[in-house]
Amino acid sequence: MLDFAGKRWWYLTISIVLFLIAAAALVLWGLKPGIEFTSGSSFTVQFTEREVSQGEVRDAMHQLGHPEARVQGAGANTYLIHTGELQNAPALNSAEGPEQPGEINTIEDGLRDRFGAVTRTNFSTVSETVSTEIARNATFAVIVAAIAILIYISIAFRSLPKPWLYGSAAIVAVLHDAFIILGLFAFLGEFHGVEVDTAFITAILTVIGFSVHDTIVVFDRIRETLKVDPYVPFEEAVNASMTETLARSINTSFVVVLTVLAMMLIGGDTIRNFLLVLLVGIITGTYSSIGIASQLVVAWENNDIGKFIRRIRGKQDDDLAAEPA
């Protein structure tokens, strides 16, 4: 039987360090919101006559009257361009007939004059009202998911003392996973221009579900262990339960990671960020179910925080007593 609980502060210290790094990234750089959260237009262009650099495309957009445009690589000689909301810019494949000239057509003609043949795809426009509603709904979805998890786990483990403790520990583990992902995307947004969009929120909710599922498996095994022997020391029950579920958790996560890696290799650029969130979230979710959720429950049951505070106060009292009168 492995002694997970005995090394709980090693696990928690690692998590605290990662949390602080993620917090620093968010404070320094923040997230780079996509079109769904900021309003505007986006489209993809591919140049077929010659190689065109990202800087050349950015300069061309500036000369075409769109200095606010953000240019992001999206494949071989292909770029994703975000601008302010373009006027008179109908969507592709309109059922109302051929497109009427608009700002997007002017941009396309300007790029063609500078770089030769260009193919435009994936054009979309989001108004400010719609982007505000999307941001509000995304925030609401995450909050509701967290509350639902807390309520469900508290009810599911009501046969144990302090069932709310298990729900709270699961929420802390989920927030840990989500915060690390946010910190990573703050870094990627600053240095690689990676943006967060509605697919990012979907991936975060998927990670939350995976993380909670893994945590519940461990908690359920702890409950069964305590039910069989209610007098077993809590740390021993946790160690036995985590040892029994460790192979299952790692094997399940490993298979999912292989699947996500395969999809990242053969999938398109449009879902790469979604898959990156899943990849990081699955790894952190597996760790948090072992190194955070269960260890927080043990720390609470052993009153580690109270012991730490008393130790600090005792040391201060000893220092005061040692001072000369």
178 and 293 housed in the same domain? yes
48 and 140 housed in the same domain? no
Angle between helices 294-301 and 163-192 (to 10 degrees): 130
Q: In this predicted structure, what is the pLDDT of residue 91?
A: 45
Q: In this predicted structure, what is the pLDDT of residue 255?
A: 92
Residue 324 lies in a domain: no
The two tokens of residue 297 are 């429950």
The structural domain count of the chain equals 2
Tell me phi and psi for residue 96, to 5 degrees.
-90, 5
Q: In this predicted structure, what is the pLDDT of residue 27?
A: 92
CA dist 198 and 34 (Å) reads 8
The two tokens of residue 8 are 């709980």
118 and 242 housed in the same domain? no
Low-confidence stretches of the chain (pLDDT beneath 70): 88-101, 128-129, 131, 268-270, 308-309, 311-325
- At CA 52, angle to CA 51 and CA 54, rounded to 5? 140
Q: In this predicted structure, what is the pLDDT of residue 80?
A: 85
The CATH number given to whatever domain includes residue 114 is: 3.30.70.3400
29 and 51 housed in the same domain? no
Residue 317 lies in a domain: no
Residues 6+ apart with CB under 8 A from 238: 4, 5, 222, 294, 297, 298
* Residue after which a domain boundary falls, among 99, 126, 153: 126
189 and 287 housed in the same domain? yes
DSSP 219-236: HHHHHHHHHH-TTS-HHH
Q: In this predicted structure, what is the pLDDT of residue 38?
A: 75
* Residue after which a domain boundary falls, among 81, 97, 126: 126
80 and 122 housed in the same domain? yes
**Which residue range(s) make up the domain with 81?**
40-126
Q: In this predicted structure, what is the pLDDT of residue 111?
A: 92
107 and 144 housed in the same domain? no
179 and 272 housed in the same domain? yes
* Residue after which a domain boundary falls, among 126, 156, 172: 126
- At CA 246, angle to CA 296 and CA 2, rounded to 5? 75
Angle between helices 198-228 and 234-266 (to 10 degrees): 150
149 and 264 housed in the same domain? yes
Q: In this predicted structure, what is the pLDDT of residue 322?
A: 59
Beta carbons of 100 and 88 less than 8 angstroms apart: yes
Beta carbons of 85 and 39 less than 8 angstroms apart: yes
156 and 117 housed in the same domain? no
CA dist 273 and 180 (Å) reads 15
